[in-house]
Amino acid sequence: MAQQNIYDNEVFFDSFKGLRSDEINFNEVIETPIITAMLPDMKGKKVLDIGCGMGQHAIQYSKAGAASVLGTDISEKMLGFAKENNAAENITYRRLAFEDIAQLDEKFDIITSSLAFDYSEDFGKLMKDIYVLINDGGYLVFSMSHPISTAYDGVYDRYTRTEDKVRLYANLHNYGIEGVRHFKWVVEDYEVYHRKFSTLINCIAGAGFIIEECQESTVPDEILKKHPDKFGGVIHQPDFIFFRCRKSNR
């Protein structure tokens, strides 16, 4: 199974780091507030953050009172940044692709992931592997690109616009055809996997999870008014989708 590691590409990593350093970015303004509101109480919990990246969420969980946090990622560059900038006594970082997550010989109360599962070739297997790693009554809370957002391949413009470049509506391309999509984002051959909304639901439920909550990304009105060029597309398509899932007590 293919394992993607685009974040160790020097050009891509430097660009991504620059995006995250801007206080007004999609992660901080849209993604983090929504996923944070969906999290259960972290106090005293054993937490796994899959695709931990630069460690922003790991340090957030540490400060929220987690007993321990394990952050896993395939990117050496991301882990290096996390260890240097988002370290704490109760945080451990480990290089591990999520395709190999079943290698972990321990269980967790809460498993999270922020915008990493877009790179998963076999989402159904990933959900089953994660289910095994969660204690009964535990939670999986994650975000990923919305299926409407991934129904795009770079061949056509993402938006239809007026002559003044105002977005009129978002364009979909082959929503019903699942699989890998390639387009340009910083590098020429950026790659994600597109799946229909029903596939996501069926894979989550098929692994045994109970879906307690689902959210689609929005942006606060005051931010949209201040930064229409950056966030104007959000009113036409949700960029991210969020799930809070629970493993039932047996």
Q: State the pLDDT at residue 201.
A: 98
pTM value is: 0.87
pLDDT digits (tens, 9 = 90+) for 210-249: 999 999 988 777 767 766 666 666 777 888 999 999 998 7
List domains and CATH numbers for the chain.
6-145+196-229+238-246 (3.40.50.150)
Decide if pLDDT at 189 tops 90: no
pLDDT digits (tens, 9 = 90+) for 51-109: 998 899 999 999 999 999 999 998 888 899 899 999 999 999 999 998 899 999 999 99
Q: State the pLDDT at residue 1.
A: 45
Alpha helix (H) residue ranges in the chain: 10-21, 26, 32-38, 56-63, 76-85, 123-133, 147-150, 197-206, 221-226, 228-231
Summarize the confidence of residues 9-19 as an average pLDDT: 57
User: In the structure encoding, which two tokens stand for residue 119, read together?
Assistant: 């790179």
